[in-house]
Amino acid sequence: MRSSISNPETECMSDPNYSELPSAGLPRQLAAMIYDSLLIIALLFLAVGIVVALNGGEAVRPNLLFKLYLVAVVFSFYAWFWRKSGQTLGMRAWRIRIVDANGNNPAWGRCYLRLCCALLSWACFGLGYLWRLFKPWTWHDRLSGTRIVSLSALHKARQQAQALAAGATAEDQVKSETEK
């Protein structure tokens, strides 16, 4: 049974304001991208396999429609994870999250805009990403109104709150035993 008494310390930990978290560093972002690229490769194998199966087991000649299909698969991967939870699996592993200006998961339009702008950041020899070394945002962060935040500070705060709660519980037990 759930208690109706609210605890301000745990309440703020359960519903954090993501917009106040610090921006994630470039190494974490790149590490998450490498992790996600492995998942995307597997997803593309599956997507191509479906097309080959529909083509009667014959190889598919690369054409514009097929290339657009593969780009749509990759874009949908990112947009679905970002919209649903604010994190891809790689981002979850590296404790980073994408948020809009209000600290919420980005809307579908922002997700797709960010992906298009990220392509621009790569097309300029990665300068859009390298910009993160000098500013707390990348070009595609700025252009799409999103940013990648680090959840490490939030994780540490939750651990401290749990430790405090556990310490208070242990102290309460000792006091009740000494009073007996």
Q: Write out the two tokens for 174.
A: 């000792």
> What pLDDT shows up at residue 179?
64
Contacts 24+ apart (CB under 8 A), 123-131: 129/26, 129/29, 129/30, 130/26
Burial class (CB in 10 A: 0-12, 13-18, 19+), 26: middle
Nearest to 81 by CA among 43, 134, 127, 46: 43
- pLDDT (average), residues 161-172: 71
Q: Please, which pLDDT band fits residue 3 given cuts at 50, 70 and 90?
A: very low
Q: Write out the two tokens for 49.
A: 């396999």
Encode pLDDT of 142-157 as tens digits. 999 999 999 987 877 7
> What pLDDT shows up at residue 15?
58
Encode pLDDT of 50-63 as tens digits. 999 999 999 999 89
Residue 83 CA, chain-centre distance (Å), reads: 10
Encode pLDDT of 79-100 as tens digits. 999 999 999 999 999 999 999 9
The verdict on residue 133 lying in a domain is yes
The verdict on residue 107 lying in a domain is yes
The verdict on residue 2 lying in a domain is no
Over the chain, what is the mean pLDDT? 86
The verdict on residue 119 lying in a domain is yes
- Helix (H) / strand (E) containing 90: helix 89-93
> What pLDDT shows up at residue 164?
81
> Which residues span the domain enclosing 111?
20-169
Query: How many structural domains is the chain composed of?
Result: 1
The beta-strand segments (E) located in 21-125 are 96-100
The verdict on residue 33 lying in a domain is yes
The verdict on residue 178 lying in a domain is no
The verdict on residue 180 lying in a domain is no
The verdict on residue 105 lying in a domain is yes
